[in-house]
Amino acid sequence: MAEEGIVSDDAKNAAAKPNPKLTLLPLIALIFYEVSGGPFGVEDSVRAGGGPLLSLLGFLVFPLFWSIPEALVTAELATSFPENGGYVLWISAAFGPFWGFQEGFWKWFSGVMDNALYPVLFLDYLKHSFPIFNRLIARIPALLGITFSLTYLNYRGLHIVGFSAVSLAIFSLCPFLVMAILSIPRIRVKQWLVVDFKKVDWRGYFNSMFWNLNYWDKASTLAGEVENPSKTFPKALLGAVVVVVSSYLIPLLAGTGALNSASSEWTDGYFAEVGMLIGGFWLKWWIQAAAAMSNMGLFEAEMSSDAFQLLGMSEMGMLPAIFASRSKYGTPTVSILCSATGVIFLSWMSFQEILEFLNFLYAIGMLLEFAAFIKLRVKKPDLHRPYKVPFQTFGATMLCLPPALLLVLVMCLASLRTFFVSGCVIIVGVLLYPLLVHAKDRKWAHFDAEQPAEPPLNCPAGHSSASQLHPEDADEASVGLLTDLSPDTEQEPSKLRSEEVLKLE
C-alpha cells in the first residue's frame, strides 16, 4: 500500500509539472516558419513578375505596407489576450462569439491548406534529382509518410518543435548564404532591372507575394505556451521580420544577379538549379537538403498553431472538450490528428490551386482582425495592453488601411473557382456554429462552456485561470461577452479571460 501511495504521489507530481514554455529564440524560429521558412517557393514571384525587378521590389515594398502593420497589430492584441486561441479571442471580444467562431474556422481551414503545401514543395525539390516523384506511385506514399512522421514529432511537444525550428532555420539558410558569397564576382546589377510587362501574371504575382509574407498572426494561437508573452512577443515579431525579409532578398539578389536565366525557368524548386550553376552539384544537393529541412519546420510550425487554435477554441467552449485534451507531452492530441487529416485530404491539389484558395480565406479573416483591432481601440480604450502600437486611434486606422486594400486586391484577383470553394467553406462555418450550439444544449458532447475543471497547464504569470474566478465574477461573466472595463478594474490582463469573452449562447 505504501508503494502504491508513492506511485500515486509521483503520478500526481508528474501531472502537475508544467510543460516547458517557449522562449524568445524558439518563438522567433516558429514565427519565421509560420511566415517564411526561407526562399523556397519564392521562385514563382520571378516568373509571375516577368523578371527579377518586380520580385525584388515586391520583397522590399510589401513588408512595409503589409508585414510590419500585421506584425504590430499581432503584437498588441496577442499581448492583450495572452491565451491559446489568439485571433479567435480578439474577434469575439470585438464582435461576439459567432464571428469569433467564423474567424477560427476560416483561419484553421486556410492553415490546413497552407500546411498541405509543404509536402508538395518538398517533393517538388526532390523531383529535380529523383524524377520518380513525378509519378503517383511514388508521390502518394511519400506524401503520406512525410505527413505521418512530422505529425508524430508535433505530438511529442511544442518545446521540441520550437528548438527543432531553431536548428532547422540555421541549416536551411546556410546554403543560401554560401551561394550569395560565391555569386558576388558574377553579379551584374543590370540583370536585377529586367522586367517584361507582357509576361507579368498579376494574379500569380500578388498571390505569391501575399503568401510569402503573411501569417504573422498565426503565432498568437500559441500565446498561452509562451514565457512572459507581453515582452517576448514584440521582440520575437521584430526579429522574425528582419530574418524573413533577409531570407528572401539575399538569395533572389544572388540568383537573379549572377545568372541570366529566363523568367519562365523560375518555378518551384528552381533554387536547386541556381545553386548548381553557381557552386556546383554539392551546393544543389545542399539546397535540396535545406528545402527538406525547411519544409519540416514549416509543417511543424503551422500544425502547432492550427492545433493549439482548436485547443483554445475548445477551452472557450466553442468546440467539444475533447479538442482540448492533451497528451502526456502537453500537446493537443485530437486537434493535431484533426489538422493532419485535413492535410492528407488536401495535399493532392497543385501548388497554385492551394495557394489561391488559402489566400482568399486568409484575406477575409485578416480584414476581420483589422476591424477588431480598430473597434477595440474605440470601444475598449482601457483594455490592458502590455504592448501598444504607438499611434492613437486615427493613426492605428491609417496603419491598417494599406494592408486592407492589399487584401481586397488579392480577393478581387481570385478565380471563379476560388470564389466558389471559399463560399462553400464560409457556408459550412455559418451552419456549423448553430449546430455546435444545439449539440451543447442537447448535451450530445461535453463542452467546457462555463469554466474548465482545472487551470490550464501553462497559465501565464499574472493571468489567472477561470477556475480561480470568484463565484460573483463567474456569474457576471455569464451575463455578457465582454463587460465594460473601467480604469480601476483594468489593472491586470487576468481581468480578460477567454471565459469572460467567449461563451456559446
pLDDT band at 499 (very low <50, low <70, confident <90, very high): very low
pLDDT for 156 beyond 70: no
Q: So what's the pLDDT on residue 307? A: 83
Pick the range with the lowest mean pLDDT from 125-134, 332-341, 430-439. Answer: 125-134
pLDDT of 157 reads: 58
CB atoms within 10 A of CB 196: 13
Residue type, 378: V
Residue 299 has pLDDT above 80, yes or no: no
Q: Where are the domains of the chain?
A: 24-435
Q: Are 472 and 500 in contact (CB under 8 A)?
A: no
Residue 40's pLDDT is 81
pLDDT range class, residue 218, cuts 50, 70, 90:
confident
Helix (H, G, I), strand (E, B) or coil at 210: helix
CA-CA distance, 29 to 10, in Å (whole number)?
A: 34
CA distances to 123, 245, 295, 326, 471 from 289, rounded to whole Å, are: 11, 22, 10, 33, 56
Choose the weakest-confidence range: 130-144, 176-190, 406-420.
130-144
pLDDT, tens digit (0-9, with 9 covering 90-100), for 383-394: 888 888 888 889
Band (pLDDT 50/70/90 cuts) for residue 244 is very high
Distance CA 163, CA 155 (A): 14
Beta bridge partners, 226, equal: 22
In the predicted structure, residue 288 carries a pLDDT above the cut 80: yes
Which residues lie closer than 8 Å to 173 by C-beta, 6 or more apart? 38, 247, 290
- Compare 221 and 442 and report the one with higher pLDDT: 442
Give the span between the Cα atoms of 439 and 441, in whole angstroms.
Answer: 6
Cα dihedral 180, 183, 185, 189 sign: negative
* For residues 165-193, average pLDDT: 90
- The whole-number pLDDT of residue 304 equals 79
Q: For residues 109 and 51, what is the distance between their CA atoms, to the nearest angstrom?
A: 33
SS3 443: coil
Helix/strand/coil (H/E/C) assignment for every residue in 454-475? CCCCCCCCCCCCHHHCCHHHHH
The per-residue pLDDT for 19 is 61
- Please tell me the least confidently modeled range out of 50-64, 131-145, 312-326: 131-145
- Does 93 or 207 have the greater pLDDT score? 93
Confirm or reject CATH 1.20.1740.10 for domain 24-435, answering yes or no: yes
- For residues 391 and 334, what is the distance between their CA atoms, to the nearest angstrom? 41
User: Does the pLDDT of residue 460 top 50, yes or no?
Assistant: no
Taking every pair of Cα atoms in the chain, the longest distance, rounded to a whole number of angstroms, is 83
Amino acid symbol at 125: Y
Judged against a pLDDT cut of 50, whether residue 32 lies above it is answered with yes
* pLDDT band at 55; cut points 50, 70, 90: very high
Closest CA to 36 of 211, 233, 221, 251: 211
pLDDT tier for residue 442 given thresholds of 50, 70 and 90: confident
pLDDT at 31: 86
pLDDT of residue 475: 33
Task: Decide if 95 contacts 372 (C-beta within 8 A).
Answer: yes
Rounded CA gap, 440 and 433, in Å?
A: 11
pTM: 0.73
Per-residue CA distances from 317 to 90, 107, 324, 329 (Å): 15, 18, 10, 23
Query: Which band of pLDDT confidence, cut at 50, 70 and 90, is reported for residue 158?
Result: low
- Whether 464 shows a pLDDT value over 60: the answer reads no
CB 142, CB 134: distance < 8 Å: no
Tens-digit pLDDT profile for residues 85-106: 788 989 999 999 999 999 999 9
Q: How does pLDDT run across 70-86, given as a tens digit for each residue?
A: 989 998 998 888 887 78
How far is residue 224's CA from residue 74's CA, in Å, rounded to a whole number?
14
User: How confident is residue 421, by pLDDT bands cut at 50, 70 and 90?
Assistant: confident
**Placement of cell 503589409 in the chain:** 66
pLDDT given at position 247:
92
Residue 446 has pLDDT above 90, yes or no: no
* The residue to which cell 503568401 is assigned: 211
Q: What is the pLDDT of residue 504?
A: 40
The confidence score (pLDDT) of residue 154 equals 67
The rounded percent of the chain whose pLDDT value lies above 70 is 79
Average pLDDT over residues 208-229: 80
pLDDT in tens, 318-376: 888 888 778 777 777 787 887 777 777 766 666 667 777 888 888 899 999 999 999 99
Give the helix/strand (H/E) hosting 146.
helix 136-155
User: CA-to-CA distance for 19 and 489, rounded, in angstroms?
Assistant: 31
pLDDT value of position 431: 95
Distances (CA, A) of 285 to 39, 163, 259, 288: 16, 25, 19, 5
- pLDDT bucket at 128, cuts 50 / 70 / 90: low
Higher pLDDT, 343 or 250: 250
Integer angstrom CA distances of residue 332 from 21, 220, 305, 326, 346: 15, 16, 11, 4, 22
